[in-house]
Chains A and B, each alone.
Chain A
Amino acid sequence: MDKDSPDLHQDLNALKTKFQEMRKLIGTMPGIHVSPEQQQQQLHSLREQVRTKNELLQKYKSLCMFEIPKE
């Protein structure tokens, strides 16, 4: 097979197209815009936020020392 044969070029173009499709697919995958370590830090931070806000809400609800009459 000649290096400059049309079949070879065709195969190489097909290969190139495949790789371009792969790049597009990688671009649509969610959550990989950060490294795994950064993502774990963000996850930990979010869990901590949820826990803190739950505690705050519980504290607010327990502050009601008297019943509010229903009108």
Chain B
Amino acid sequence: MRRLVSDWAMAASSSGEKEKERLVGVSVMAGIGSTRERLLSALDDLEVLSRELIEMLAISRNQKLLQLDEENQVLELLIQRDGDFQELMKLALHQGKVHHEMQALEKEVEKRDSDIQQLQKQLKEAEQILATAVYQAKEKLKSIEKARKGDPRRPYPTDLEMRSGLLGQMNNPSTSGVNGHLPGDALAAGRLPDVLAPQYPWQSNDMSVNMLPPNHSSDFLLEPPGHNKENEDDVEVMSTDSSSSSSDSD
């Protein structure tokens, strides 16, 4: 401790203010190390100087020795070091405020990171959905293209395909409101049950009233299989529709 004080004193006495400033500048103003280290260093110097001054004063009073110059130098150094310490404390308080601002910024950065990760996850999901949709669309286009070209092994539609088509649906009494008319060869071929057999207006009076719109039975021109003019009388007799005028017996 005494060496430190003597170094300070020698610096102050030998080369005056400039040397003193140099020593002070090296330890304080140059900013070597963190603010905490500089504060602790200044505090150590203050403790040493203050103890030294107290001891010098005690010795001089006890021994009645005048050490005014040395005591003054130590006192000046103590005051100066205390000034440095006060400046460092102001700096430390300012750094404390900046530190709080940095903590707030770090929280904001964390939140932004979380938002970015969330968006990335959603983009990945959207990418997967789009990829699946594109693949399915391509497959659909392929099947359409293949359907247009048809199957070279069988260029004509099958019986099942015909019945499932529009014409088949039209002739099906369960799906249409009018008597279904199937090709006569279908019944003749025995492939259809009687329930699906074509029902003509002259076969059933009730059916003619229920199934055909009024005043339009004369519009019904389709002839049943095997029909000929010889049977027109039978047809005419059986029909009770007063509006019927299409038949003309010979």
| Pair B116/A32 contact, Cβ less than 8 Å | no
Query: How many Å lie between the Cα of A2 and that of B59 in the bound state?
Result: 7
Main secondary structure of the interface of B (DSSP, over half): helix
| Pair A3/B62 contact, Cβ less than 8 Å | yes
Q: A2-B62, A8-B54 are in contact. Are A35 and B34 (CB under 8 A)?
A: yes
Interface size on A, residues (CB 8 A): 38
| Pair B109/A34 contact, Cβ less than 8 Å | no
Quote the shortest CB–CB distance from B47 to chain A (angstroms): 4
> Which of the listed residues B43, B95, B98 has the most CB atoms from chain A within 10 Å of its own CB?
B95
Is B102 in contact with chain A by the CB < 8 A criterion?
yes
Q: Report, as a range, how many residues of chain B touch the other chain.
A: 35 or more
Is A69 in contact with chain B by the CB < 8 A criterion?
no
| Pair A26/B39 contact, Cβ less than 8 Å | yes
Considering the complex, give the chain B residue whose CB is closest to the CB of A49: B109
State the 4 A-B residue pairs at the shortest beta-carbon distance, nearest first: A31-B99, A53-B112, A32-B35, A46-B105
**Apart from A33-B35, A46-B102, A49-B109: 15 A-B pairs, beta carbons within 8 A:** A1-B58, A1-B62, A3-B59, A5-B58, A8-B54, A15-B54, A30-B99, A31-B96, A31-B97, A32-B34, A37-B31, A38-B34, A39-B98, A57-B112, A57-B115
Spell out B's residues near A (CB within 8 Å).
Answer: 31, 33-36, 39-40, 43, 46-47, 50-51, 54-55, 58-59, 61-62, 91-92, 94-102, 105-106, 108-109, 112-113, 115-116, 119, 123
